[in-house]
Amino acid sequence: MARSSSHYPDIGVLGEDFIAQWLQSSGWKILHRRWRCRWGEIDIIASNLETLAFVEVKTRSAGSWDEGGLLAITPQKQAKLWKTAQSFLATYQNFAEYPCRFDVALVCCQKLPSKVQQSSFDCKYNLSLYEYIAGAF
């Protein structure tokens, strides 16, 4: 999602923040956020000391057309994530022996009107975990 200078936050980043906090509360250590290389970007890379998880986060409004973001994980997207993960493992060889998996987190985002009356742009978001698919592909 492109960064915007509007008054609205990037809900993709809000969703990633939400999932990073959720993973931490579940005992995972967040190693990297938005890790990039020439092949692409991985939203979250996390470890629970036994497994390395490459997590793709999709944040959507309720009733989205693409099944909460699941349809956006195309075979082409999976291939990009695979190459990006290979680049990560080549860069951080201390993780090369970890069992790895690709997880998908689907986050539902509802915009709620703010009680603050300062501006018509004031709003807050209610985020919820719609589905977390461990080892999605």
Task: List per-residue pLDDT tens for the chain, 137 residues long.
Answer: 444 444 456 889 999 999 999 999 999 999 999 999 999 999 999 999 899 999 999 999 877 778 778 889 999 999 999 999 999 999 999 999 999 999 999 999 988 876 644 454 445 889 999 999 999 99
Compute the distance between CA of residue 17 and CA of residue 137 in angstroms, rounded to an integer.
22
* Model pTM score: 0.84
All domains in the chain, ordered by first residue: 11-133 (3.40.1350.10)
**Could you tell me the two tokens for 8?**
């609205």
pLDDT of residue 9: 62
Name the token pair of 88. Answer: 């990560």
Which residue has 């698919």 as its token pair?
133
The CA distance from 42 to 70, in Å, is: 16
- Residue 102: its pLDDT value, please? 98
